[in-house]
Structure 1
Amino acid sequence: MLSAIVGGILMAEPERWQVSTDAAEVYESCFVPAIFGAWAGPVADAAAITTGNKVLDVGCGTGVLAREALRRVGQKGQVVGLDLNEGMLAVAARAEPKIQWRQGDAASLPFDDASFDVVVSQFALMYFPDRVASLSQMWRTLAPGGRLAVAVWASLDRARGYRILVNITAGRNGHEAADVLAAPFVLGDQAGLAKLFADSGISAASVTLHEGSVRFASVKEFIRIEVKGSPLADMLSDDDMESLARQCERALAEFVEPSGEIIMPLDAYIVTASKG
């Protein structure tokens, strides 16, 4: 569920990244423990979420970061998770009914100015069709003295396993399929990311690189989850997926542990800013 586009492949249009509830279930049961769960703590730390805060998670997906925020704000705080994707929100609501889940567009947030002490967004900004408007809206809804923290993936060059997968998929299945895998890395240029925030009216943003990794039970499981948990599920047949997995088992051998588990580097930028 990670995808960019770099190296001559055109990025898939962000508004096309919609998934069914079934795919959202795969996201929650597979991607969250393998990838996203490990980042909820660092993003919450960067945002300095604490007891009593009112927190907004924009592009919340199935809610892993929102759930971490809820744990930190306690009974005196409040957490709202917003996403455009109904499938993601359905899974999120089942996982944690104490959070207020809202369907909405990041570029037109349905909240008053200065509504939140903390606004966060984890690995969603790259999919927003209008990133400047979305960041401006996050800043608008943040109260004076409030804190913003936004995580995006670093470049494909800092995720070599995914770079290999993208290249193989482009050769086997064409650029449209490869675009799905590469799209998440489109904001991986540090200078470009800082400019994006400045263009959005957030001039004092700090962009910090954080090293991370991704872990799956096997190469075959990695490929299965990447396909079934994304729009690739409608683009590749089961035979295509099996064939892709066989080729990737050879190409990704350097990342495979003696146990058969695959562990690959996957770094991210966390952008932070305080308001006023």
Structure 2
Amino acid sequence: MPDAYERHLVPVLFRPFAADLAARAAASRPRTVLELAAGTGALTSALLAAVPTATVVASDLNEAMVAAGSEREPRARWRQADAQALPFTDGGFDLVVCQFGVMFFPDRPAAFREVRRVLTPRGRFVFSSWGPLASHGFDAAFQSALEEAMPDGAPTFLRDVPHGYTDKAVVAADLAAAGLTLTTAEEITLQGRAESAASVALGFLTGTPVSAAVQARDDAHALRAAVMRGMTDRLGPGPVTAPMTATVYTAHRGA
């Protein structure tokens, strides 16, 4: 899964936002940075380039992602870590960042309390979450193709999880429950560029939890081909471009 995620999804969906998030992180000139849900290191590399003097600790719950990330970006210190029970001392970081990971935390206020605990008194928490599914050209096209190919019950993972944490008021309330104060919430739209729609579809089919539902079927091979065709029909053949909307949040420790 990490290989497919890195090959087909990271360059298209995550790297454009990583450059933006790293620039925001660098504005405060942090000395110690903790990244949550680092995946294979797209944001990690951007952080190291934007803040070359900072110590960057990259963490992820998934051991396979940590292994892949540490091989790809050895300049960071990598740790396997649950965001809801971080293995770090109090007040050890002046910046915590998370790119498109908070949506996966089962108990977001609990994870945010851990963020507050490991932040210095003047520390910042900068993170991003995707907008509604319809605001993401690639994800919406994939979900439509998947539902067309699986009319008997397509997985709703994309709608429910990556695109399921879009209400700014809910985010602010979750942060407040953890003792964090929301400072800014900025919606941004960037363009994703892929070598083909089929490549992105393959990434979703083999590099995300959708893969389990597809692989369990007897017609898995034909189903994958149908979804790749369906996504190509929607976005076009050859290199494709689509808009992607997300919200970038900044929070700080409350009193």
The normalised TM-score by structure 1 is 0.82
- Paired with 2:151 and 2:5, the residues of 1 have a C-alpha distance of 24
2:222 corresponds to which letter in structure 1? D
- Paired with 2:78 and 2:152, the residues of 1 have a C-alpha distance of 35
2:245 to 254, 257, 267: 267
- Paired with 2:29 and 2:182, the residues of 1 have a C-alpha distance of 25
1:187 corresponds to which letter in structure 2? Y
2:26 to 48, 56, 59: 48
1:149-168 equivalence runs, <5 A: 149-168=126-145
- Paired with 2:44 and 2:138, the residues of 1 have a C-alpha distance of 28
The aligned counterpart of 2:217 is: none
Structure 1, residues 28-77: CA drift from partner, whole Å, max 9, x if none?
22222112111112112222356561100011111111222222332x42
Q: For structure 1, which segment, 36-45 or 161-170, has the greater mean C-alpha deviation from structure 2 after superposition?
A: 161-170
Report the Cα offset of residue 187 of structure 1.
Answer: 0.8
1:179 to 146, 153, 156: 156
The reply on whether 1:58 has 2:30 as its aligned counterpart is no
The aligned counterpart of 2:222 is: 239
Report the Cα offset of residue 273 of structure 1.
Answer: 1.9
The reply on whether 1:101 has 2:86 as its aligned counterpart is no
What secondary structure sits across from 1:112 in the alignment?
A: coil
Contact 2:23 2:50 in 1 (8 A): no
- The 1:49/1:81 distance shift into structure 2, 3 A limit, reads farther
2:181 to 203, 209, 229: 203
What secondary structure sits across from 2:22 in the alignment?
A: helix
Report the Cα offset of residue 175 of structure 1.
Answer: 7.7
2:96 to 108, 115, 119: 119
The aligned counterpart of 1:249 is: 232
Structure number with higher strand proportion: 2
1:208 corresponds to which letter in structure 2? E
The reply on whether 1:88 has 2:65 as its aligned counterpart is yes
Contact 2:149 2:226 in 1 (8 A): no
- The 1:241/1:116 distance shift into structure 2, 3 A limit, reads same
The aligned counterpart of 1:9 is: none
Report the Cα offset of residue 104 of structure 1.
Answer: 1.2
Q: For structure 1, which segment, 154-163 or 76-85, has the greater mean C-alpha deviation from structure 2 after superposition?
A: 154-163
Report the Cα offset of residue 176 of structure 1.
Answer: 6.3
Structure 2: gaps of 5 or more residues: 215-219
2:175 corresponds to which letter in structure 1? F
1:127-166 equivalence runs, <5 A: 127-166=104-143
- Paired with 1:175 and 1:112, the residues of 2 have a C-alpha distance of 49
What secondary structure sits across from 2:26 in the alignment?
A: coil
- Paired with 1:248 and 1:40, the residues of 2 have a C-alpha distance of 25
- Paired with 1:199 and 1:54, the residues of 2 have a C-alpha distance of 25
What secondary structure sits across from 1:212 in the alignment?
A: strand
The normalised TM-score by structure 2 is 0.88
Contact 1:65 1:122 in 2 (8 A): yes
Q: For structure 1, which segment, 262-271 or 194-203, has the greater mean C-alpha deviation from structure 2 after superposition?
A: 194-203
Give every structure 1 segment of 4 or more consecutive aligned residues whose post-TM-superposition deviation is greater than 6 Å.
none
What secondary structure sits across from 2:156 in the alignment?
A: helix
1:94 corresponds to which letter in structure 2? E
Structure 1, residues 133-170: CA drift from partner, whole Å, max 9, x if none?
11111121111222210111011131244234324423
Report the Cα offset of residue 203 of structure 1.
Answer: 2.5
- Paired with 1:57 and 1:274, the residues of 2 have a C-alpha distance of 16
What secondary structure sits across from 1:82 in the alignment?
A: strand
**Root mean square deviation, CA, Å:** 2.1
What secondary structure sits across from 2:84 in the alignment?
A: helix
